[in-house]
Amino acid sequence: MVASLRPAADDGRLVEDAPGLRLREVFTQFWPALRPLRGWLALGLVLLAVAPLIGIAEILLFERLVDDVLVPADFGPLPFIAGLYIGLNVLSAVVSGADDYLSTWVSQRFLVQLRTDTFRHVLSLPLHVREQRRLGDVLSRLTSDIGSVEAFMVRHLANGLGAVIRLVFFVAALFWLQWELALASMVVVPVFWFVSTRLARFVQDLSRERARRGGSLGSVAEEAISTAPLVQAYNREDRAVAAFHRQTRGIAEAALASSRVRSAFVPLVDLAELIGILCVITLGTWALATDRLTIGGLLAFLTLMSQCYRPIRELNDLVPSLFSATAGAERVVELLRESPVAEHPEAHDLDQPRGEVVFDEVSVRYPGAGRDALRHVSLTAAPGEVVAVVGPSGAGKSTLARLLTRQVEATSGQVRIDGHDLGRLTIRSSREAVSLVLQEMLLLDTSVHDNVAFARPDASAAEVEEAARAADADSFIRELPDGYGTRIGQRGRSLSGGQRQRLSLARALLRGSPVLVLDEPTTGLDPESARRVLAPLRAAARDRTVLLITHDPVAVEFADRVVRLEAGAVQPDPVEPPPALCTDLAGSPR
Ligand SMILES: Nc1ncnc2c1ncn2[C@@H]1O[C@H](COP(=O)(O)OP(=O)(O)OP(=O)(O)O)[C@@H](O)[C@H]1O
Ligand SMILES: [Mg+2]
């Protein structure tokens, strides 16, 4: 056996502890989500209260059975008592079945709602918050940790209340039967109390460890699987497996340690129970001798008393279970307390946008960054224009695109669309006005048609094809095995880089928004393919504002104006694109 109760503190902890919460804080955090179900909860409580009453009735019936049938050996009252027994049994089965189903139903409803809300919340978080968190950790919070919240709010609390109700009834019945014996049986209560509070403290630490390891395990797996080609190419499988193993072992050690803690305390509880029973038997013998109690009464008392220990044990386990569920709940609360992209309280919709974009002295600093990613950037782009933004890596080009899609907020200055301050527009309507072709092309594992129609799910097949033609994607799509119905694999793995770009462009064009932002659309393409990706832009720019973020000299040929960014600032002398190339390659003379 390992000597210490706590798991070895090896490192390889990838996920930080969430801030600790008190039981009451967990409850108040999640009560609003449970409130709509309170009617059903109340019904559950009624069922919980009926069950012990049936139990007590059965025990009293047992007393009658001993004293009126068994002791006098008289058959007379037996059929009546037997009939009552059967009746109570059926009633008890109905009540406990209904209670079981109801509590499962309530917990599942609560889980579905909470999971959906948390998922929606995660999607509303700004970019930098999502980037700080490891994906695997977020997934583990959405799945297993939310399960802990349900356990806390519904299962454990309902069990606890049920135990309290049963205990109150049973103890009342004990005192009613014979108060001196009842007092004697209570001598063990302090032992139970001591054990449960001690146990709780250990279990809470261990559960936190376990929940965090669960998050780390998810992160390790997610990272290794999503970077599998890299891991394989560099023969780093062993390292990934070792990290995975370390986290799984961490979980196992925490589980073992909590089992050791429990088993150290269980004999204490058993001993306390035994002492209680012995006390009652001693006093009971005296009560029998002095005719204060019949034999049936004593047996009923002992049965009731053993029934009492069950809820006491349950309450005893409840405290550690609540603490253990708190460990998961803390991780969910931490996620829920991240604020989503803020919307101005008086935000208004952007109606019929034309697409004039103005950056006015905009500065951006990412949270925790040492310097501004953009410094007093001013630039204008009007409908009908293709404005290229060039500059070295890290200059802040993608940050411009993130500003327009409200992934980051300007620290100072203003971004305007058609003269409206972006910060005062509803997030939905301002995002509707801007279509972004991302630097890291994001395609979904569905058909080509669905990938394009992602922009507008109600678009007809003809509209999708038209957008594909405008993005010069139609011809290659038709050569795919199933044309527009071809599934393109996760992140579009079965397509070439240029094809993926054209598909992303088709998606952006289908949306028909007045501002089109392309972030490095030609990365990794040879000049010929780059021109194929960019050629459709000239036509698209006729009724749109196009912001073309690029390193690529080829891309610059397609621009009306070039803005140069360096270290977050616009450089004074704009580079004019070579005029000859503009007419030749763009296809539409200007
Ligand atoms: N989420 C983030 N948190 C903190 N800093 C960031 C974040 N994203 C970008 N930065 C920093 O902001 C600066 C500008 O980044 P940005 O992605 O806009 O550059 P870029 O011009 O698009 O570069 P590239 O050409 O390599 O794509 C960089 O110094 C970068 O380190
Ligand atoms: Mg970039």
The verdict on the CB of residue 395 being under 6 Å from ligand 1 is yes
For residue 189, name the pLDDT band (cuts at 50, 70, 90). Answer: confident
Nearest ligand, measured from the Cα of 408: 1
How far apart are alpha carbons 135 and 116 in whole angstroms?
17
Pull the structure tokens for residue 313.
Answer: 């044990």
Q: What is the full DSSP assignment across 5-55? A: SSPP--S---SPPPPP--HHHHHHHHHHHHGGGHHHHHHHHHHHHHHHHHH
Between residues 116 and 470, the one the model is more confident about: 116
Q: Which atom of ligand 1 is nearest to the CA of 396?
A: 18
Q: What is the pLDDT of residue 110?
A: 93
Lookup: tokens for 567: 């270290």
End-to-end, the C-alpha distance of the chain in Å comes to 82
- Span 212-262, pLDDT tens digits: 888 888 888 888 888 887 888 888 888 889 989 998 998 899 889 888 887
Backbone angles phi, psi at 73, to 5 degrees: 50, 55
Percent of the chain with pLDDT over 70: 94
Write out 484-535 in H/E/C secondary structure: HHCECCHHHCCCCHHHHHHHHHHHHHHHCCCEEEEECCCCCCCHHHHHHHHC
Distance (Å, rounded) from C-alpha 348 to C-alpha 329? 36
pLDDT of residue 13: 54
Confidence of residue 7 (pLDDT cuts 50, 70, 90): very low
For residue 541, the 8-state DSSP code is G
Collapsed DSSP state (helix, strand, coil) of residue 366: coil
- Region 112-138 average pLDDT: 85
Question: Is the confidence at residue 6, as pLDDT, over 50?
Answer: no
Mean pLDDT of 385-411: 90
List the one residue out of 178, 174, 177, 202 whose CA is nearest residue 189.
174
Q: Which of 332, 313, 334 is nearest to 199 (CA)?
A: 313
In this predicted model, which residue has the larger pLDDT, 537 or 374?
Answer: 374
Cα(81)–Cα(306) distance, rounded to whole angstroms?
23
Rounded (10°) CA dihedral 349, 355, 361, 366 = 70
Chain centroid to Cα 425, Å, comes to 28
Estimate to the nearest angstrom the gap between the alpha carbon of 355 and the chain centroid.
36
Let me know: does 373 contact 398? Beta carbons within 8 Å: no
Q: Ligand 1, closest atom to CA 399?
A: 18
Single pTM value for the model: 0.76
Whether 185 lines ligand 1, by a CB cut-off of 6 Å, is no
For residues 201-207, average pLDDT? 80
Could you give all domains of the chain from N- to C-terminal order, each with its CATH number?
23-336 (1.20.1560.10), 357-586 (3.40.50.300)
Question: 438: which DSSP letter?
Answer: -
Q: Dump pLDDT digits (tens) for 423-449.
A: 899 988 999 899 988 867 778 888 899
Indicate if ligand 1 lies below 6 Å from the C-beta of 371: no
Mutate which of 125, 128, 372, 398 for ligand 1? The one with the most ligand atoms within 8 Å of its CB, which is: 398
Q: Which long-range contacts (CB under 8 A, 24 or more apart) does 520-524 make?
A: 520/397, 520/398, 520/439, 520/549, 520/550, 520/551, 520/552, 521/437, 521/548, 521/550, 521/555, 522/550, 522/552, 522/554, 522/555, 523/439, 523/497, 523/551, 523/552, 524/497
Distance in Å, CA 568 to ligand 1 centroid? 9
- 345 compared with 577, residue with greater pLDDT: 345
Residue of the CA atom closest to atom 25 of ligand 1 = 393
Average pLDDT, the chain: 84
Give me the mean pLDDT over the 113-118 stretch. 92
> Given the structure tokens 């210490």, which residue do they identify?
4
Are the beta carbons of 485 and 515 closer than 8 angstroms? no
Looking at residues 116-121, what average pLDDT do you find?
92
**Residue type at 511?**
R
What percent of the chain lies above the pLDDT cut of 90? Answer: 22
At 576, is the pLDDT very low, low, confident or very high (cuts 50, 70, 90)?
Answer: low
pLDDT of 489-508, one tens digit each?
Answer: 766 677 888 888 888 889 98
Ligand index nearest the alpha carbon of residue 126: 1
Which amino acid does the sequence have at 1? M
Distance 377 CA to ligand 1 centre (A): 15
pLDDT(583) > 50: no
> pLDDT band at residue 573, thresholds of 50, 70 and 90?
low
pLDDT score of 265 more than 90? no
